[in-house]
Copies of this chain bind each other. A is one copy, B any other.
Amino acid sequence: MNNGAMPVEIHRRGLLLVLSSPSGAGKSTLARRLLESDPDMTMSVSVTTRKMRPGEVDGTDYHFITQERFEEMRDNADLLESATVFGNGYGTPRQPVDDCLAQGKDVLFDIDWQGTQQIVDKLPNDLVRVFILPPSAEELRERLIRRAQDPLSVVAGRMAEAAKEISHYAEYDYVLINDDLERCFEELRSILRAERLKRHRRAGLSDFVNSMQEKL
């Protein structure tokens, strides 16, 4: 109905997409495909105090920082979320996320339910939380065995871990069941497409509507 005129572009605020799941549910594959196919989606790069491993790149895999700097950032509220795991600090710097949101870019987070909870408190309106479930316990077991080639005792420990992680699905906005990777990916893209159309993110709407009303 636009008679060949230019499509209407409305400036929008970006969003924070959190993908959580037990390991083995296909989250990493979905995240990688999303980043490859969606020019408006970027990955948040965490800071960490642990040592760089061979092959890792500072600023790409992590920002490698000292314990002192980590504590300073955490205490200054420069981290959106943080955790200490096996004595190493991990966290999400807030400034690059704020910049992305203002520019209408979205940021992908691959964090667990505890990190998610910390972000809810800080940016509740920007957050879109998606939990990925495996199709069945049997399928999850098979995937963990295939992938890790670990002794079965280790797999058993991971299964127990997964059972705990899964119980947090109820804290998420959307729940996907990864019984078919293609369908699950399309569902994820529909969620993103819809969330970007939410009125409260479309920051340019009020100017657009005001200028239309003046001419009506």
Report whether B202 and A175 are in contact in the complex, using a CB–CB cutoff of 8 Å.
Answer: yes
Please tell me if the beta carbons of B213 and A197 are within 8 angstroms of each other in the complex: no
Contacts of A213 in B (CB 8 A): 137, 163, 166-167
> Closest approach, in angstroms, between the C-beta of A181 and any C-beta of chain B?
6
Q: Which of B2, B3, B166, B199 contacts A169 (CB 8 A)?
A: B199
Are A135 and B1 neighbours in the complex by a CB distance under 8 Å? yes
Alpha-carbon distance between A82 and B131 when the two chains are bound, in angstroms: 39
- Chain B, residue nearest A171 (CB): B199
A8 within 8 A of B: yes
| Protomer copies | 2
How far does the alpha carbon of A134 sit from the alpha carbon of B190 in the complex, in Å? Answer: 23
Q: Which single residue of chain B is at the shortest CB-CB distance from A214?
A: B137
A215→B138 contact, CB < 8 A:
yes
Cβ of B180 and Cβ of A7 under 8 Å apart? yes
Whether B187 contacts A197 by the Cβ 8 Å rule is yes
Residue of B1, B3, B163, B177 touching A216 (CB-CB under 8 A): B163
Taking CB as reference atom, which chain B residue is nearest A186? B193
**Do A199 and B177 touch (CB < 8 A)?**
no
Hey, which chain B residues are within 8 Å of A136, CB to CB?
5, 8, 212, 215
A199 to chain B, nearest CB (A): 5
**Residues of chain A from 133 to 148 with CB closer than 8 A to chain B in the complex:** 133-140, 143
* Distance in Å: Cβ of A23 to nearest Cβ of chain B: 12
Interface residues of A in 1-44 (CB under 8 A from B): 1-3, 5, 7-8, 10, 26
Interface residues of A in 178-200 (CB under 8 A from B): 178-181, 183, 187, 190-191, 193-195, 197-199
Jot down 11 A-B pairs with beta carbons below 8 A, ordered by A.
Answer: A5-B179, A7-B183, A8-B136, A133-B209, A137-B216, A140-B212, A160-B216, A166-B209, A166-B213, A174-B194, A187-B193
Question: 3 tightest CB-CB pairs across the interface, nearest first?
Answer: A137-B215, A194-B194, A163-B216
